[in-house]
Homo-oligomer: A and B are copies of this chain.
């Protein structure tokens, strides 16, 4: 599992900072999460293949999370994309994109599907044989979801020495990897635990931006390996959080602690502060295992 931060600053694109967008690679699947203005250039700068993106998840319809989407969709068209693309986002996103495509008279030649979200309960919105994606309802000024990405349990690893010892034929290997016991020709039953090793444990990643401090997310994200949580402000500006419906670094750390996550990554910084190190200094007083997102940073887990 790895994460590339394309942009992680609040509000507007600036000369050296980009609005929210990130690419998660999990179990050989690549997902684009949010798409602020300039995302397609950030994808190029970070050498991410446009054709590897087949699903885009949009948390909410504020500009710094979505105004790069129409440009990316149009560029896919110019690049002669053929593979289908699915966009998950709040109700309204389909109308917003389709109107712009209609006015430009340039409907994509690839299949473009929108999955519009409106539930205020966590729900599974994507599932294939490798990954499952659920929404994380957040509290913001407009309808907003975070997203939980979970690897599906992987197949068990063969203990090749034991398999040879019992002279088991290869046609049974998939059953063994799937957890089945094996009955030998002489009637002996060899339990699966003898024939396999545990697979790597499934990884999980939770993206929570933008949101007021909200303990309702804790049961949904409990125990995730990595939590990205917005930290727009420091505690010194906590009087802004209610009106803007954002969190402080300390609040993000409190959520990480209460949800017992493995790792916290902070982002969505207000540009009023002279250094993002201040966010980390504040968060580690509550939750030690805290990292800072920054544009162009690559995390491997």
Contacts and interface: CB of A to CB of B under 8 A. Distances in A.
Given A37-B68, A37-B71, A62 B104 contact: yes
Nearest to A101: B63
Contacts of A24: none
Contacts of A37: 37-38, 40, 68, 71
A38 B13 CA distance: 8
Contacts of A100: 61, 63, 67, 96
A181 B6 CA distance: 67
Taking the full assembly, how many copies of this chain does it contain? 2
Interface in A1-54: 11-15, 37-38, 40-41, 44-45
Nearest to A91: B103
Given A11-B75, A103-B142, 6 more contacts: A12-B75, A14-B44, A38-B41, A62-B104, A95-B99, A96-B103
Contacts of A93: 103
A61 B95 contact: no
A71 B63 contact: yes
Contact of A78 (B11, B71, B106, B142): B11
Interface residues of A, number: 34
A95 B103 CA distance: 10
A61 B13 contact: no
29 contacts: A11-B78, A12-B71, A12-B74, A12-B75, A13-B38, A13-B41, A14-B41, A14-B44, A15-B45, A37-B40, A37-B71, A38-B41, A61-B100, A61-B104, A62-B104, A63-B100, A63-B104, A67-B67, A67-B70, A67-B71, A67-B74, A67-B100, A90-B103, A95-B99, A96-B99, A99-B99, A103-B142, A104-B142, A105-B142
